[in-house]
Amino acid sequence: MPDDLNLSATLLDRFRAVRRRSREIAEPLSDEDCCAQSMPDASPIKWHLAHTTWFFETFILEPHEKDFKPFHPAFRVLFNSYYNGVGDKHPRPQRGLLTRPPLADVLAYRRHVDERMNMLLAAGGTDGRIAALLEVGLHHEQQHQELMLTDVKHMLSMNPLEPAYLQTPWMPGRVAPDMHWRRFEAGVVEIGCKGDDFCFDNELPRHRQFVEGFAMASRLVTNGEYLAFIDSSGYATPSLWLSEGWDWIRAGNLSQPIYWRRDGDAWQEFTLQGLQALDPHRPVTHLSFFEADAYARWAGARLPTEAEWEHAARGCTDFGRPALHPAACGSDHGGGKDSNDSNDSQDSLMQLFGSAWQWTLSSYAPYPGYRAADGAIGEYNGKFMSNQYVLRGSSCATPEGHARASYRNFFPATARWQFTGIRLARSS
């Protein structure tokens, strides 16, 4: 029993901290901000706050609480995301039409479920099933915390007033070091989550995979380097683009990253801190897979596979800290020396975590031997293994403690509203 009580206390502390952080993200926003939906891929902040609460109510309280009663029966449909095993869902593109319930009711819903979760966890004797579901729920909410920031950024960018999410100082950037290359020999490597630490089911099972020799760039591609691609007519050169990517940029008349603005000869970038002068040394972000792939081809390189990326990132312990925008990597981060002719330490690779998610060439597919969990919770990852590409690392908006080398993020090839960037690779 003492071990169970300690487990419950630890989970309760983490539960309270994660739930508090979601509310903090929403705090600078008005009620109107929290209701708006700028595109079908994004969701209103109010919906994020409700859905993450729905997860705990549906998957933990309902099956484990004695005499369970829902906070509101209609919320089961309104705030279900994609769990078909749970029942009907409100259409995703119409989440912004949910002016009712008001934000105040959603916050009351959060308080109500939090109180019941607190009672369940504080009672002690938490069994393994509840603990496992709670771990998933906490990491699920952290995923939504990142989405809250990227969704509100897209929403604010649609406003001609170009308002800032937070009026905090835009710190001067550092000069990015020269890009160097770290070589890795061909061989069999182990890929996937190792040990007893938490991971999602798509990171399992750990398995062996052969990789050919390759080299990985020491840092992410910068705004200045991507601007050179634009200035050399990169968006107008069909040979650089996959066929579907070329059709996509032509149909959308695209010629620059989604948040870049041109003011005469000067470039600006919309950020969570408002419109800022484009810093050539910061990592370029908010790129689609198609844009990242075209740039890599123009640069005489390619994107890494996810196995290459994970192998290169093994042993990294610097997971970065949350920020409103990625910073340039300075020489104090290590890795400023040329590593072409040596097998240098892990420090020669910068910005693996905490700056931008990095596109890979790998389609999102199950690992050999993958099995989804039973029941509706098994819909979390496996059913999306189609028409998506894997991204690795983490971004400036990723909550602290959420990143790891085996993490598999995934988005369609056209997705641009996330903090997505480019790390180059080469075959050797």
Residue 6: the pLDDT is 64
Structure letter (DSSP) for residue 6? H
Helix (H) / strand (E) containing 78: helix 75-78
Domain extent at residue 91: 2-157
Same domain flag for 387 and 283: yes
Residue 26 and residue 148 in contact, taking contact as beta carbons nearer than 8 Å? yes
Question: What is the rounded distance in angstroms from the CA atom of residue 358 to the CA atom of residue 305?
Answer: 10
Same domain flag for 111 and 259: no
Same domain flag for 18 and 124: yes
Same domain flag for 10 and 111: yes
Which is it for strands 409-411 and 389-392: parallel, antiparallel or unpaired? antiparallel
Domain-embedded: residue 384: yes
Low-confidence ranges of the chain (pLDDT < 70): 1-8, 124-126, 331-347
Residue 15 and residue 134 in contact, taking contact as beta carbons nearer than 8 Å? yes
* Residue at 317: amino acid letter: T
* Residue at 254: amino acid letter: L
Q: Tell which residue, 187, 181, 184, has the closest CA to residue 214.
A: 184
Domain-embedded: residue 268: yes
Residue 28 and residue 166 in contact, taking contact as beta carbons nearer than 8 Å? yes
Domain-embedded: residue 327: yes
Same domain flag for 222 and 123: no
Domain-embedded: residue 175: no
Residue 344: the pLDDT is 40
Exposure letters 108-145 (e unless 16+ CB within 10 A, then b): ebbeebbebbeebbeeeebeeebeebbebbbbbbbbbb
Structure letter (DSSP) for residue 355? B
Residue 196 and residue 135 in contact, taking contact as beta carbons nearer than 8 Å? no
Domain-embedded: residue 130: yes
Domain-embedded: residue 173: no
Domain count, the chain: 2
Same domain flag for 278 and 234: yes
Residue 305 and residue 293 in contact, taking contact as beta carbons nearer than 8 Å? no
Same domain flag for 251 and 153: no
Residue 3: the pLDDT is 54
Structure letter (DSSP) for residue 323? -
Same domain flag for 113 and 208: no
Same domain flag for 81 and 135: yes
Question: What is the rounded distance in angstroms from the CA atom of residue 279 to the CA atom of residue 140?
Answer: 33
Q: Name the burial class of residue 269, with classes exposed (0-12), middle (13-18) and buried (19+) by CB atoms within 10 angstroms of its CB.
A: buried
How far does Cα 395 stand from its chain's mean position? 6
Same domain flag for 99 and 223: no
Residue 125: the pLDDT is 53
Residue 172: the pLDDT is 77
Residue 399 and residue 419 in contact, taking contact as beta carbons nearer than 8 Å? no
Domain-embedded: residue 170: no
Q: Which two tokens stand for residue 138?
A: 């906490």
Exposure letters 221-247 (e unless 16+ CB within 10 A, then b): bbbbbbbebbeeebbeeeebbeeebbe
Domain-embedded: residue 174: no
Residue 366 and residue 207 in contact, taking contact as beta carbons nearer than 8 Å? no
Residue 227 and residue 281 in contact, taking contact as beta carbons nearer than 8 Å? no
Same domain flag for 29 and 134: yes
Question: What is the rounded distance in angstroms from the CA atom of residue 233 to the CA atom of residue 214?
Answer: 29
Q: Tell which residue, 323, 384, 383, has the closest CA to residue 351.
A: 323
* Residue at 120: amino acid letter: L
Residue 400 sits in a domain of what CATH number?
3.90.1580.10
Q: Which two tokens stand for residue 295?
A: 């740039």
Same domain flag for 368 and 252: yes
DSSP-assigned beta bridge partners for residue 211: 187
